[in-house]
Amino acid sequence: MINKNTIIIGLLLIWFIGSASYLIWSFTTTRNNTLRLEGYTAAVNDLINQAENKECLPFEIFSGERRVTLINTKCLQQQKPAEDIPE
């Protein structure tokens, strides 16, 4: 026959394993989300830095096989089209 102490020890062991598992899962999920956010922030900051280049040159960004060329719209506003310049 199982005595009362064995049942209590078993339940405490199950509770401890469940609690430890939850804490580990919670920590890793939070850490993964933090790292993902830091990666997005770094990518956006890099994109902004490239767009603010002093030469107003277009720059290329890509994701896998997809590529686009971007330029800061302020650079386009600074350059007047040739037809707008009076002779």
User: Where do the structural domains in the chain lie, given as residue ranges?
Assistant: 4-84
Q: Stretch 4-18: mean pLDDT, rounded? A: 95
- Encoded tokens for 17: 């394993």
Compute how many other C-beta atoms are within 10 angstroms of the C-beta atom of residue 58: 13
- Encoded tokens for 27: 């920590």
What is the predicted pLDDT for the residue at 80? 60
Q: Stretch 56-70: mean pLDDT, rounded? A: 90
What is the predicted pLDDT for the residue at 46? 92
Task: Return the half-sphere exposure (C-beta side, CA atoms, 13 A cut-off) of residue 9.
Answer: 5
Q: Stretch 16-37: mean pLDDT, rounded? A: 97
Q: Stretch 16-30: mean pLDDT, rounded? A: 97
Query: Is the model's pLDDT at 86 over the cut of 70?
Result: no
DSSP-based three-state secondary structure for 60: strand
